[in-house]
Structure 1
Amino acid sequence: MSAEDVKEKGQVEHGELVDLKADAKLADYKADAMEAELAEHTMTVMEAVRAYPMACFWAFVMSFTIIMESYDVFLIGNFIALPAFANRFGEFDVANNKFFIVPKWQSALQMAGQLGALIGVFLAGPLTSRIGYRWATLLGLMLMNATIFIMYFANSLPVFFVAQLAEGLPWGIFIANAPAYCSEIVPMRLRAPATQVLQMFWAVGSIIVGAVTFVYNGHPDVNAYKIPIALQWMFPTPLAILLYFAPESPWWLVRHGRHEEAAHSVERLGRKSKLNSGETVALMRRVIELETTVASPTYVELFKDTDLRRTLIVCAVYAGQNLAGNLIANQAVYFFEQAGVSTHLAFALGLITSALQMVFVMLSWGLTTYFGRRTLYLWGTGVNVALLVALGVAGSVAASTASSLAQASLGLIISVLFTFAAAPVSWCIIAETSAIRLRPLTTGIGRASYYIIEIPCIFLGSYMLNPTGGNLGGRCGYVWGATGFICWISAYYFLPEMKGRSYRELDIMFKRRIPARDFKKTEIKVEEDS
């Protein structure tokens, strides 16, 4: 045998040895991933809490950022009904002998923040994909501090509009990042409560606003609206200090090939004695490598192949929040006034509504965990549609004390039940539906659809309620009942059940194009990759 033959034979044997080592490494890696996934499937909710206590804490902290959007959304809604604000910036209504904010400015003020947030969510996706959830959120918090100054010193409605527009930019970052981050740092069993806590903090923001404006609604001076504006500074700096010490999402770190940092992040999120960080990172690597393409994630990819279906589900669920009762909840105080109750009672009912919403959101955690996302969304939306039609009927009868109280009561019940089922479960659906590698972009584009639907709905809602506009009062229930019914039909045919599914299983089921109503009964084996 010649020297060249010996050399060639050695190269072949070396190549075969390398291939064998690579196959062995891949087998070990997949075995670790399978072990981690089986552990998550067998873990109970309480076991998950004990294994990942710090993940629960950091999900709680990140969710707190939602208070800032909630606070300002409800603040502007309450300012429209606030006598001191109307006296300073409104026009006099001779028929009712009081000042009011004209419909075009009611709508403009309420949609300005949403317009800014629409811009913010488009910025959030690429920003977060590049620098991570933690640094993107810190940047938003610092920007929030600056934009509050504009609103505090505003002395005209156009300046208030600009202030709201500017504040909306960081809202977009918070609302895009929070559900994605919360869903990525907790194990499967905690995804529902970790994302639904966002709705609870939305209610907390409205409670704070309701309490402050309830106290100041009788004050005739500028403090009636200046002090509630200044209280916004309570949130950004303390949250920024806390989040500076937060761990980055291990999924984000794995997406960027930083596996050792991801393992360290997993250890910071859970108890070392109750988890194997190496196996957990292997699980993440398996999912991400199944999803990975040559190209970097882009918005265009959201609308290709099976990702189009996932994007449409997220967009539809987000948009549906505005079409099945949410606007009545956001304009609760003004709705109560137009239903015929006194201003003081309207603010009191608004505060009661917000407090009940927080309680019912917490009750929804268990329902979503044990009954599933699809089931709760369908039942919650269906009940709300029936109540909205009942509200329309109550608003159609002759004006009387009884009809006013019926409308106010139904408005309160609709606002509360919306946060018991459809609203909180939406956050869970949004966080679970998107592919991991596209998650920052998907949550951003999904929230954009929310604002795109909300902005015209705000104009419509304000027009319907305003006495110088449509003056429909409770009859607006017919309109929102009809749009809510469309949401229910769409969810019945297109919303899959994702309860108890790993991200790998969801990837496979979407790639197989399994019909939404068959998700629950489809079996995916732990060793399957496609």
Structure 2
Amino acid sequence: MSSGIQNTPDSESVRGEKNDVLHSEKVTTSDLMGDAFDGENREHEMGVWEAAKSHPWACLWAFVMCFTIVMESFDMFLNGNFVALGAFQRKYGVLIDAATDTYAIPTRWQSALFQAGQCGAFVGVLAAGPITDRLGYRWTTLLALVLMNATIFISFFADSLAVLTVGQALEGVPWGFFIANSPAYASEIVPLALRGACTATLQMSWSIGGIIVAAATYGYNQRNDEWAWRVPLALQWIFPTPLMILVFLAPESPWWLIRHGRKDEALRSIKRLGTGDPEKAQQTFAMVQRTVEIEAQMGGNARFLDMFKGTDLRRTIIICLMYASQNLAGNLIANQATFFFEQAGISSNRSFELSLINSCLGFVANVCSWPITAWFGRRTIYLWGTVTNILLLIILGICASIPQNSSTNYAQACLGIIISFVFAGTLGPISYTVISETSSVRLRALSTGLGRAAYYVVEIPMIYLASQMLNTTGWDLAGKCGYVWAGTACVCWVGAYFGLPELKHRTYRESDILFNRKISARKFKSTVISVTENE
């Protein structure tokens, strides 16, 4: 409930009444409240371009942290391409056509390779929350990068599918740390106007990983020896060490520092992130401290079970559904693009070419998503992006259901590319923005970790389903899988229509108030919140 107190910069009432959640000597001075009001008003008034010019370092550090996702993306796309590599198929596959000397990796091993990393990442995201809450974003990410460097050795030197699967599972653990921390850190260090664009770079990192994999496997797919897959595996080592140096130099999130009572460090961090003007830095500091104190007095220290209580339960459900929906709207076609193209009847070499084109177009779509997030609301982008992919997936299914020839094969391939493009420009990036904005500040490290765990819970069986639908030793559906993904995407659209709130232009304090008041998701955008309200 609202405290009912209208706080003003010169008001003494913020000290008096016991039912005011700001009844604390830490935050109730009129100077601090005045600075907090000014800081929040300045956030609302700042445009995207103005924010980018005044906070270039915040943008850089957000991008660096988001770029850690490239390692998970790299391996996900790499496994998808391995099963389409001729040398890999002959080494570990089974003969399915003696006349053409055609081999294929058994469905169970395809699923194992795709799922192993996700199982490891599931462990990582659950561990990331408590560790990050204790060590901070920087040191947790540094720990994960060290672990990543070590686990790559297992995959690189693997001489069987079993060992390669174990290597992928161990590599997955640091992936979980990266994906849990990146959206949270990026959303906390940039101004309000840049939250959408900076968190959307997570999807761009996925595309960059896909481009590198597509280029590497395209270059080596003509080889007939083990280096056809060992060289792409070795390329993983180009990421961790440079990222370790950059993350070590990055400032810690001021939100995390204030939550842990390290206020002097938080103020220095705010100045490093771009707010060099002492007065503006103090205003930002006061705004952050005000929100942190409100949440602390309402909920105390962050605990895992708090995510399933009160209004935080609603936030947890939204985050989990957003993450889970990334696996249900046709995106798994992109993750297995090369294999999908082959099953659609395209030659092996041309399939690798199309996969590279698909990854490059995904990167273009990610860049296009930046202005889109600035112009349109999160809810609008998600709903329209989803309905567009539903229609395209149905068309893909129809195209695969009619008598097949060269034209229908290429039509399926083109539709697969367009579906991936739409996802990379709408659903993919905006999901990360919604996830980073929805959780309370107090529970953010735990919430993003749990949400990603929900992603893996859904993805693991969906990967098996995708492999089963595409594999010639499975159901061999090719483009007919579009019907299945269109159905699951419809479920996502309905859930988002009734449950996804609009949080664009909302500070974390305003989001807290909207959730505490139990406002309908469709009324979040129209509800007016005063800068003086505390609850």
TM, length-normalised to structure 1 = 0.95
**Structure 2 residue aligned with 1:153, among 137, 150, 157?**
157
Q: Does residue 202 of structure 2 align to residue 215 of structure 1?
A: no
* Alpha-carbon displacement from aligned partner over 1:341-384 (angstroms, at most 9, x marks no partner): 00001000000000000011111111111111000000000000
Q: Verify the 8 A CA contact 1:34 1:526 in the aligned structure 2.
A: yes
Q: Verify the 8 A CA contact 2:36 2:284 in the aligned structure 1.
A: yes
Q: Does residue 498 of structure 2 align to residue 493 of structure 1?
A: yes
Trace 1:302-321 onto structure 2 (pairs within 5 A).
302-321=307-326
* Alpha-carbon displacement from aligned partner over 1:223-276 (angstroms, at most 9, x marks no partner): 100100111000001110111111000000011011111000000001413862
Q: Does residue 457 of structure 2 align to residue 446 of structure 1?
A: no
Q: Does residue 211 of structure 2 align to residue 245 of structure 1?
A: no
**Aligned mates of 1:449, 1:24 — CA distance in 2:** 36
Counterpart of 2:372, as a letter, is: L
* Alpha-carbon displacement from aligned partner over 1:141-176 (angstroms, at most 9, x marks no partner): 000000000000000000011000000000000000
* Alpha-carbon displacement from aligned partner over 1:11-65 (angstroms, at most 9, x marks no partner): xxxx99xxx9959952221111111000000111111112211101101111110
Aligned with 1:276: secondary structure?
A: helix
**Aligned mates of 1:37, 1:88 — CA distance in 2:** 60
**Aligned mates of 1:317, 1:508 — CA distance in 2:** 21
**Structure 2 residue aligned with 1:463, among 465, 468, 477?**
468
Aligned length: 513
Q: Verify the 8 A CA contact 2:133 2:445 in the aligned structure 1.
A: yes
**Aligned mates of 2:120, 2:394 — CA distance in 1:** 33
**Structure 2 residue aligned with 1:286, among 272, 284, 290?**
290
- CA 1:36–1:271 in structure 2 vs 1: closer, same or farther (change >3 Å)? closer
Structure-2 residue corresponding to 1:9: none
RMSD of the TM alignment (CA)?
Answer: 1.6
By how many angstroms is 1:333 displaced? Answer: 0.5
The share of aligned pairs that are identical, in percent, is: 53
* Alpha-carbon displacement from aligned partner over 1:69-110 (angstroms, at most 9, x marks no partner): 000110011001011111111111126631110000000100
Q: Does residue 414 of structure 2 align to residue 409 of structure 1?
A: yes
Bigger mean CA offset, 506-515 vs 49-58: 49-58
* Structure with max Cα Rg: 1
Q: Verify the 8 A CA contact 1:80 1:86 in the aligned structure 2.
A: yes
Structure-2 residue corresponding to 1:349: 354
Structure-1 residue corresponding to 2:4: none
Q: Verify the 8 A CA contact 2:27 2:290 in the aligned structure 1.
A: no
Aligned with 1:81: secondary structure?
A: coil
Q: Verify the 8 A CA contact 2:74 2:212 in the aligned structure 1.
A: yes
- CA 1:139–1:370 in structure 2 vs 1: closer, same or farther (change >3 Å)? same
Trace 1:65-76 onto structure 2 (pairs within 5 A).
65-76=68-79
**Aligned mates of 1:369, 1:111 — CA distance in 2:** 35
**Structure 2 residue aligned with 1:80, among 83, 96, 99?**
83
Structure-1 residue corresponding to 2:11: none
By how many angstroms is 1:182 displaced? Answer: 0.3
Trace 1:224-243 onto structure 2 (pairs within 5 A).
224-243=228-247
Counterpart of 1:65, as a letter, is: T
Q: Does residue 340 of structure 2 align to residue 327 of structure 1?
A: no
**Structure 2 residue aligned with 1:113, among 114, 117, 134?**
117
Aligned with 1:168: secondary structure?
A: helix
Aligned with 1:485: secondary structure?
A: helix
Q: Verify the 8 A CA contact 1:364 1:424 in the aligned structure 2.
A: yes
Bigger mean CA offset, 288-297 vs 333-342: 288-297
**Aligned mates of 1:309, 1:93 — CA distance in 2:** 50
**Structure 1 residue aligned with 2:176, among 164, 172, 175?**
172
Structure-1 residue corresponding to 2:43: 40
Q: Verify the 8 A CA contact 2:393 2:485 in the aligned structure 1.
A: yes
By how many angstroms is 1:136 displaced? Answer: 0.1
Structure-2 residue corresponding to 1:31: 34
- CA 1:21–1:442 in structure 2 vs 1: closer, same or farther (change >3 Å)? closer
By how many angstroms is 1:528 displaced? Answer: 0.3
**Aligned mates of 1:468, 1:122 — CA distance in 2:** 35
Q: Does residue 196 of structure 2 align to residue 196 of structure 1?
A: no
By how many angstroms is 1:405 displaced? Answer: 1.2
**Aligned mates of 1:21, 1:47 — CA distance in 2:** 35
Q: Which structure 1 segments of 5+ residues have no match? A: 1-14
- CA 1:479–1:274 in structure 2 vs 1: closer, same or farther (change >3 Å)? farther
**Aligned mates of 1:107, 1:147 — CA distance in 2:** 20
Q: Verify the 8 A CA contact 1:51 1:275 in the aligned structure 2.
A: no
Q: Which structure 2 segments of 5+ residues have no match? A: 1-14, 17-22
**Structure 2 residue aligned with 1:163, among 141, 163, 167?**
167
Q: Verify the 8 A CA contact 1:51 1:274 in the aligned structure 2.
A: no
By how many angstroms is 1:295 displaced? Answer: 4.2
* Alpha-carbon displacement from aligned partner over 1:389-425 (angstroms, at most 9, x marks no partner): 1111011111211211111111111111110111110
Q: Verify the 8 A CA contact 2:271 2:277 in the aligned structure 1.
A: no
Counterpart of 1:151, as a letter, is: S
**Aligned mates of 1:197, 1:424 — CA distance in 2:** 7
Structure-2 residue corresponding to 1:258: 262
**Aligned mates of 1:104, 1:369 — CA distance in 2:** 43
- CA 1:22–1:311 in structure 2 vs 1: closer, same or farther (change >3 Å)? closer
- CA 1:295–1:38 in structure 2 vs 1: closer, same or farther (change >3 Å)? closer
Q: Verify the 8 A CA contact 2:393 2:483 in the aligned structure 1.
A: yes
Structure-1 residue corresponding to 2:301: 296
Higher helix share: 1
Q: Verify the 8 A CA contact 2:27 2:289 in the aligned structure 1.
A: no
**Aligned mates of 2:314, 2:218 — CA distance in 1:** 45
**Aligned mates of 1:68, 1:347 — CA distance in 2:** 20
**Aligned mates of 2:29, 2:277 — CA distance in 1:** 26
Q: Verify the 8 A CA contact 2:132 2:445 in the aligned structure 1.
A: yes
By how many angstroms is 1:284 displaced? Answer: 0.8
Bigger mean CA offset, 275-284 vs 245-254: 275-284
Counterpart of 1:395, as a letter, is: A
**Structure 2 residue aligned with 1:52, among 51, 55, 61?**
55
Structure-2 residue corresponding to 1:6: none
**Aligned mates of 1:333, 1:21 — CA distance in 2:** 59
Counterpart of 2:60, as a letter, is: F
Q: Does residue 350 of structure 2 align to residue 338 of structure 1?
A: no
By how many angstroms is 1:279 displaced? Answer: 1.5
**Aligned mates of 1:124, 1:499 — CA distance in 2:** 27
Q: Verify the 8 A CA contact 2:275 2:281 in the aligned structure 1.
A: no
TM, length-normalised to structure 2 = 0.94
